[in-house]
Structure 1
């Protein structure tokens, strides 16, 4: 159903039953229950009711003759057999777009998804990846998502690593109802943002997309792209936990992110491994920065920054008790822990400021 409000988001008007069947099929795929008007009188009566109006060619011509009030969000729909006069009808009614079915089904499906999603959001999207195995990128990604959610930002945490064990295990929600990646395996094109969010398990309002314990370990790039796009339209903050191996699916995550945070322990071997990874990352990540995981003895921040030739976003210290707690499904970082400080610093860095209690670390960057 149309989940955004009690008022339908889409008006569909046509006397053509075959065309209406096609329109209702597309609406159902977008989880929309439209308002349907079967004649010109009903169309005129409901002209200003819905954000999107889809008018069949059969009603577009008589509608144009009465010169309706101009409004945005009108699409005229015809068939591949309609000639150029379809565009004349669309111009006369002030339509924003013309769709010929079945060729333009994808275009119309996108219009329907936009109507369901309402006002478009542009989520800050942060991708986390370990510079080496065991760097702690998953823990930091989870912390950023948890604290972003606590600050009141609509947040989604996406586990993009099918071989990582499932981030939901660390959060203790592996038995909660909701969709996991395998359920979305065939998703492509425009996904309804609100439908995606409502289908996922959540913890205190934080929506989580993770892996189940099935044998599915491969996603098509189109699926990753569509899911991230839907997440960005329905959230203020999207956090991606991505694997180190590069393939077209994982690259979609880096390409679509506001910034990529490379988590690197401050020892020689880890920095050397991160150096090898940073080259491929530069080609797909628009804003690549480093989070230093402190170790003793270890390299200095200046040494790591110089060797990787990348800016340092922040540093994070060792969290001794959290790993055991995460194994038991209890992800509750202490308010004054190194992990909490790092997560809040990153949120501040990307302007995700807690308006109720702004952090004293706002916009701090390690030189």
Structure 2
């Protein structure tokens, strides 16, 4: 039986540590304690929650720990010198001053190891028109069909819009601009209820009449809500990584690059893969046919030095159905549906392994 992952507390302040241990116990969890970011680094990415003491905020900034959701910086009564400036650079993070913030922090600890967190799968196109949105939509539809509560996040400002892909453009609910104005601190169940949804699928996409901008704070709040309230979170990310996309990429449990089976597309995807690798180690590739030059999927994966997650054959009937408003993979048949089932199955197998 695997041991549950515990929240990580990073502080060398004995008085603050006493407070945090007391609040964690009130939230029904134990914690792992690290005195500084060097000691914290091996556990930082996998912890369900990271609580950084104000005494270590500047040190964590200098250590360039990877961005992730569910990070709280905690102080006692007032921020020590330099902490406020470090917090501004560490964003997006949540902040909490004790003793006023004690009830809120107890609730955060209570969300820790008691239940498995949702799993995030990021999808990135290796080139324009690679089919990232189709794959992301298919993954979300497939996850719901498999019985998983799912959040689909459209984070590509220049994409065609996942609401259009699903035929949801007329469904009421919050879009990115409304969430961006909320300051980044929201109640996760309230957020999920406010987004467009049908059954167990929830969508966050862009509005048509406002600038397509995704602030990092809004992305952090969204990923946190997804982790706490959904089983699966699918993010459709842009090739040009902004702050929000980097956060989503670094928070993902798995990331998939989709590449057309063409020489020039592969060359372009190599640059995208290099950028992604700067932010995370794990990355696999899906190769989409047809291959005009008879390139094999395994050869493209080898050229990119990435493990092959799967290959997709052309599906004219599915593409025609999408044009008529049917979500991708909604029939459960064809290469896309088959690949999506395997990717979701692997993702959730990993969830059970770490729960």
TM score, norm. by length of structure 2: 0.67
Shift of 1:261: 0.3
Q: Which runs of 5+ in 1 are unaligned?
A: 1-70, 75-96, 354-367
Q: CA RMSD in A?
A: 2.8
| Matching residue of 2:341 | 344
1:287-318 Cα deviation digits (max 9, x unpaired) = 11101112133311231122101111111111
Q: Is this contact kept in 1: 2:259–2:269, CA < 8 A? A: yes
1:72 paired residue among 26, 35, 38: 26
State how far apart, in whole Å, the 2-side matches of 1:147 and 1:321 are: 18
Q: Which residue is 2:247 aligned to?
A: 252
- Match among 134, 143, 149 for residue 138 of structure 2: 143
5 Å-filtered alignment, 1:1-367, equals 72-73=26-27, 100=77, 103-104=97-98, 109-112=104-107, 120-297=115-292, 298-331=294-327, 333=329, 334-351=331-348
Q: How big is each residue's C-alpha offset from its partner over 1:170-220, in whole Å with a ceiling of 9 and x where there is no partner?
A: 111111111111110134454322111111111232011111212221122
SS of the aligned residue for 1:350 comes to helix
Following the alignment from structure 2 to structure 1, what is the Cα–Cα distance between the partners of residues 204 and 112?
19
Counterpart CA distance in 2 for 1:117 and 1:198 is: 22
Deviation at 1:120, TM superposition (A): 4.8
Number of residues paired by the alignment?
A: 262
Change (3 A) 1:109 1:135: same
Q: Which has the higher contact order (CA 8 A, sep 6+)?
A: 2
Q: Within 2, Cα distance between the matches of 1:132 and 1:168? A: 21
Q: Which runs of 5+ in 2 are unaligned?
A: 1-24, 29-73, 79-95, 351-355
Structure with greater helix percent: 2
User: Cα distance, 1:109 vs. partner?
Assistant: 3.9
Q: CA deviation at 1:119?
A: 5.0
Secondary structure, in 3 states, of the residue corresponding to 2:26? coil
* 2:176–2:206 contact (8 Å) kept in structure 1: yes
**CA shift digits 1:103-137 (9 cap, x unpaired):** 44666545446669995541110000110111111
Q: Structure 1 261/106 Cα, relative in aligned 2: closer, same or farther at 3 Å?
A: farther
Distance 2:182 2:253 in 1: 23
